[in-house]
């Protein structure tokens, strides 16, 4: 399994569930277990929602996905306002209405890195080791063998 895609989306709220549905379907086809899918989809949704909510004046953003046999790597990039959070964000208060996104990304993914380039481009890099359903290895091997 080696799947890559890049999608450019307008910085609008409706694009978050669109990306979530597409990414979720792709992970499901590749046999990623439900818990791992949930973690990746929640982290991706939080990163995209942060761009939509705070990425002005960028008109759009890009999401790059690379799914390998054991890892899923995501990059969410925009040219809006810079954002460099703390390496280990504090746990938000239970009654908080906002400020949970970066904490959730760090909690759910194996690696989260924010990169702010000198040209104004901000990218969040996230990766997670995949857990596959037991039948995924057999079905992927059959697909590769032409069956």
pLDDT digits (tens, 9 = 90+) for 120-133: 899 999 999 999 99
Q: What are phi and psi of 143, to 5 degrees?
A: -65, -45
Query: How far apart (Å, rounded) are the C-alpha atoms in residues 106 and 113?
Result: 9
Query: How far apart (Å, rounded) are the C-alpha atoms in residues 73 and 111?
Result: 9
- Give start and end residues of each alpha helix (H) in 32-113: 34-54, 101-108
Of 105, 77, 76, 75, nearest in space to 89 by CA: 105
Q: Please identify, in words, the CATH class of the domain defined by 3-144.
A: alpha beta
Query: 93: pLDDT confidence band, cut at 50, 70 and 90?
Result: low
> Lowest-confidence range among 60-64, 76-80, 88-92, 105-109?
88-92
Residue 86: per-residue pLDDT: 57
pLDDT digits (tens, 9 = 90+) for 32-62: 999 999 999 999 999 999 999 988 999 999 9
Domain boundaries, the chain: 3-144
Which pair of tokens denotes residue 16? 């978050």
Paired residues of 132 in beta bridges: 32
């Amino acid at each position: 399994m080696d799947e890559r895609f890049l999608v450019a989306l307008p910085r609008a709220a409706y694009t978050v569930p669109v990306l979530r549905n597409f990414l979720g379907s792709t992970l499901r086809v590749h046999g990623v277990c439900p818990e791992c899918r949930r973690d990746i989809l929640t982290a991706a949704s939080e990163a995209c929602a942060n761009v939509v909510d705070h990425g002005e004046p960028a008109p759009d953003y890009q999401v790059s996905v690379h799914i390998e046999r054991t890892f899923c790597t995501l990059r969410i990039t925009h040219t809006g306002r810079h954002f460099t959070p703390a390496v280990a964000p504090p746990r938000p208060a239970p009654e908080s209405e906002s400020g949970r996104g970066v904490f959730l990304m760090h909690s759910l993914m194996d690696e989260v890195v924010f990169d702010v380039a000198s040209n104004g481009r901000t990218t969040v890099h996230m990766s997670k080791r995949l857990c596959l359903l037991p039948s995924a290895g057999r079905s992927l091997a059959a697909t590769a063998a032409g069956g």
